[in-house]
Structure formats: C-alpha cells, structure tokens
Structure 1
Amino acid sequence: MRHSHITHLWISGVLAGFERLGLDVSALMEAESSLPENSGAAPNAGTMELGDARRLWHRAEALSDMSSLGVQLGLLQNQRASGVLMPICWHSPTPIQALRHIASFQNLISDNGVYRIREDEAQGLNHCDYVPSAHAVPPSQQQILSVITGTVLLLRAISPEDPVLAIHIPEGMAEGNISELLNVTVQPLGLDFSLQLDRARMHRPIVGRDEHLYEINLAYAEGMIRHKREGKSLREQVKQIIEQGPPALVSIEQVARALEVNKRVLQRTLAEQGSSFRQLKESLLKEKALAMLITQREDIADIAQTLGYSEVSAFHRAFKNWFGASPKQFRDIAMT
C-alpha cells in the first residue's frame, strides 16, 4: 500500500461521509480540478493538494447547516480509512505511544496539520495541540474538528479507561453540541484546538496488543513516510521551477529540462506520488492568486500579468473556474 493510497481512502471516506450527512457531493466537487480526471465523486487514485482539500471543507461548511459538521463527519469515518496507522495504534505499548505515532505519521493521511504533545507531570496531564500547516488557504475549523473527533474515538477504543478529560476549541463554536455528541467537557479557549488527557491513563498498557504486528506495521509506516518525503521533495522542486515562471506559461518540458530528467520519467514519478504536473501547476496558480488578491491586495490586472496570463479576461475565466466567482467578487466576499 502506497501512502497515496491511504490518502485517497481518506478522501473517499470524507466524501462518503458528506453524502451520508445529506450534502450534495457533486456541488462540493464543483471546480475541483485537482482530483484525477476519471475520479468521479469518490476518487480511487491520486491525492488532493492541501489548498484544494481545505476549499472542499469550506464549501461543505457553506452548504451545511450543521454547527458541528466536523464531529458528525468524524463519527461516521471508517477507521480502515487511516490505513496502516490503525494497526500501529491498536498494538502500541500504551495510548501515549499511539498518540505519538499519530503525530509522526499523520501526514500519511493529510498535510492539513500536525499534533504537538506536551507533558505536564505536575498536573498529571498530557496536552495535545493541533497545529495547522501554513498555507494561503486558511484551515477549516470543521476539518480540524473531524480530526480531533477521530483521535478521541481512537484513544477511547484502545485505552483501558477513557483518558480524554476535555477538548479545547476556538471561541464561537457550538461547544454544547460538540460536548453532547462526544460526551466530553468542551471549553472555548483562544483560537486553537487541543486535547487535555489524563497522563496516568495514557501511560497504562494497552490490553491484547501484539508486539510482532506492532513492529511489522511500524516498519512499514516508516518506509511509507520516507517515500512520501522523497515525493514531496520532488513536488516542491517542480513547484519552485513553475514559480520562476511566469507560472501559467511554464510547460512540463521546461520543468523536465530544469530537473535534467526525461519528460515521461517525470510524469511517471509524479503519478506514482499520486500527483501530476497539471495538478501541481494549477495548485500553485491558485495559491499565488489568492495570496496576491487577498493578502497582498494587488490590482487584478497586475496579478494576471504576474501569473503569466496574456489577457485579464483569461485570468478571470480561470479564477471563476477554480473558485466559482470572479476575482473581484471573491475579494469583496473575503473582505466582508
């Protein structure tokens, strides 16, 4: 099983969950060109770039009237969608070691963010903070909430006694609804998400674990994470070359020459990593367009020229295809 296979299982599970919650998946996937061409509503190959995954969640939030969409989705997720991470956690020596493995191998599933674990021996607590990855597209609170929900369910499943004492969430979220759904104390606290865990319970041995299965799956996951890092390095190199652009004008032939590889070798290697030149180029164009439009607030004509579009109208068409609104409409909505 390649790491991209785990990623697409997770994406497919998320889309299936949205559908079960009554969301129109075809509407969610509108203009989602980062998925494989023949993927349909639930992809069976490939991966989704971070910005596109976050936009998918933002669209889901806009289409749903559920204040706790992330919890509802997390409760529906099939644990098999986490691939090799599940057997590692089930057979870890202790829940705290399982949580450390989640923190280490989380990006086999998604690059959205990582867990940071803090020990508080004096208070008898473990704190587990969720740190979103930096990106031009801001993280979705509901997406993070779905990850938190999955982690809570897993820790309860493997621990001799429930170690989850409280969940800290950003202010303004539906704390009462979340608390009722997860049967846990929920406390609004600043802008971040974190878990407060009973340290003694997190260090108790997991009953029924198999050391042999643990070591086999751990070695397998370590191999996959190395493979993903190598692939990510290649994808970043490709995007860096495209960025030197102007991006819209850069061809795969130019990138292959810059990397001193055959074009078909580059195509095949990217495909093995669950990506493609078109996906990487479009992802970069989206990121730069958003950063220049919203963060830097540059003139639309200047953005089009910087990105390499021969006419502003061509940039308008591309932008509307990506985001369902013109650059001006998108900026007006973002600024209100």
Structure 2
Amino acid sequence: MNKTEIPDSFLSDTDEVFSLAVDGMGGDGAPEIVVAGLALAAERHRGIKVLLIGDEAQLLPLLARYPKAAAICTVWHTGSTVSMDMKPTAALRLRQSSMRLAMDAVASGRARGVVSAGNSGAMLALAKIVVKTLPGISRPAMAAISPTIKGDVVMLDLGANVACDWRNLVEFAVMGEAFAKAVLGLPAPTIGLLNVGSEELKGDEKLRVAAEALRESPLAAQFHGFVEGHDITAGTTDVVVTDGFTGNVALKTGEGVLKMATTLLRRVFQNGLLARIGYLLVRRGLERMKEWLDPRRYNGAVFVGLNGVVVKSHGGTDAEGFAAAVDVAMDMVTHGFTESIRDRLSHMGALLSRQQVGQVRETAVPVS
C-alpha cells in the first residue's frame, strides 16, 4: 500500500474501508511498540487493513524495519499528538491529532474500529463526541477480560462511569454479553451483578431493580443473579457487571494481589539452597502459570456502547501487548459486536423505556 502522506480529503475521497484505524503516536513506547505490535498482528489476521495515523517521519523508517506491518498499513500523516497528561478538554480542541483522526475514520465509516495506547480520558471524551453512543445506550462503559480459575471473565464498567443507575447496569449487561460472545466465543454467556452478597435482599435499590429487570428481559436465562468479589476469580459467571467506581477498585485490587503473590513467590524461592532446588522442580509449572496470568494477554480495554469498536491498549505495554489489543479489536469487528448490541437493544426497548421503569420498580424487592 501507499506509505506517503494522505491528504485531509482522504476520508471523503476514497471508498476503501479499513479494518482498523490505529493511533500510531499514543502510548509510552509509541510509535515503535505500535508498529512492532502491528507486525505481530499481521501474522494473526489475514486480510487486515490498517490506517496508521501519525508522524510519517517517525513511522516510515519503522515500517521499513517491520515489513509485515508495512504490508498491511497505509499511513495518514499528522504531526499533532495527544500527550498522556493532556486534559480531555484540550484533546477535544486538537482536531488533527492522531487520536482524533482515528476516531474520525470510524465515525465516517472508513474504518471499523480504533486502537490506541494513548491518554484514556482523552480517548473516552473523543469517543463520546466523535464516534457517539449507540441509540438506546445512555452511557458507554469500559470493559476488559480478566483470568479466572475456569477461564476468562468479562468485567464492566471499569471506570468510565463512577455513578450508575439501574438502567445503566442493565445496559452494561447487554454490552458485556455481546462482548463475551465476540471475544470469548461463548454462545450464551452467563451474567452476574456484583454485590455485597448473593442473597436477593442484599445491596441497594439500583442493584435490586437492575436484577429484576434482567430477570424479565431476553437475558433472563443467562442471568445468574448477584455475585460477590470472590466470584470474579472463581469464574462463577462469564460476565460481571458493576458501576465504574466499584469495578475500577476491584480491577486495581486484583492487579495488586497478583503483584504481591509474584513478589512473595520470588522471595520464597530465593530463601536458601533447598528453596532454589524446589524452584527447579516446579519451574515448568510456574512458567505455565506466568504465561496464563501474563497481563499482556489481557491488554485491550474496550469502550462499549459506541457506534464503532474502540479499544484502549495499556499505555505502558510492549509489542506483544499492543498486538493483543489489536486481537480484541479484530474479534469484535469480525463478529459484528456493534450490530449484536443493536439487535439485543431492539428486543429490550420496551423494558428500558420510561413507561416500564415504574413497572419494574414496583416488582423490585423493597429496601429492608
């Protein structure tokens, strides 16, 4: 493909549709980790076409070093970048930034998804303003995959919405179910509402109303009910739904526990000759566990509920982690994630309408 600068009129002049628009300048290690990650992604996704947006003076030499990435990329030049510490309001004013142009590509239909390792707050703000939310979705949410004893679990919201009402939680359940289908390949993912207990009387009103609404919805057969914190890693359900404040705390706590366990194991196996011998005996098993829990495998948080696929890679990831974020985006694009949400919402419209709110509240268990 042509690796030269694309004029500003490109999106309106071409009929070509790209699989993904990639922010080439977002993230701590950009642009090299982005290009190196795309080289890995090129091996995994046949036919992928990437609109790579950023400073061509930096991107073109890297593409020359990574021919597999060069084979799938068309460069759209811009010298403007959203820095990692830029406020969302300032990012909104940068209309020619690599992140903004990637969002524009999706909004115009020239790309089916966005991947960026850039500023999270700016990315969410741009996604809301440029890509916009789906009809019937009041707020987009941040979703991601985490490991469990049984496999993987989808969690949302992870910080996009600190305060939520019952309707937001029901919408998150719809989006989480579609995400689990697209990325985990589950035909009928089970759904749990995170609560302080599994009993029906536990929790506040919004949780009980959301639970009642889900029991009356097309997702009723997949709704498990309330789950607790330990159920997340136990894999009790395939999807765990909560508000952004609780979800972010749970996510960061899980990351902290994993780091602590790794540190303690290292100390144990360094504590004397017998401990080192013991490490040699269990090394293969520990290496398998390390691979299973490798955070790069789970890189790629998704802003769900938008008119397009928007995937946020961790800013400090490496090439393998960025490729994993591209994997998530391609899974969602390939399996019609956005269309799946639209279809599910069309079947739940009556339940989420204003008329139905009163009916659902009347059947909810009262606060004790």
Q: TM-score range by the shorter chain?
A: under 0.3
Structure whose residues are more often helix by fraction? 1
Structure ranking higher in strand proportion:
2
Higher relative contact order (CA 8 A, sep 6+): 2
TM-score between both structures, scaled by the size of structure 2: 0.24
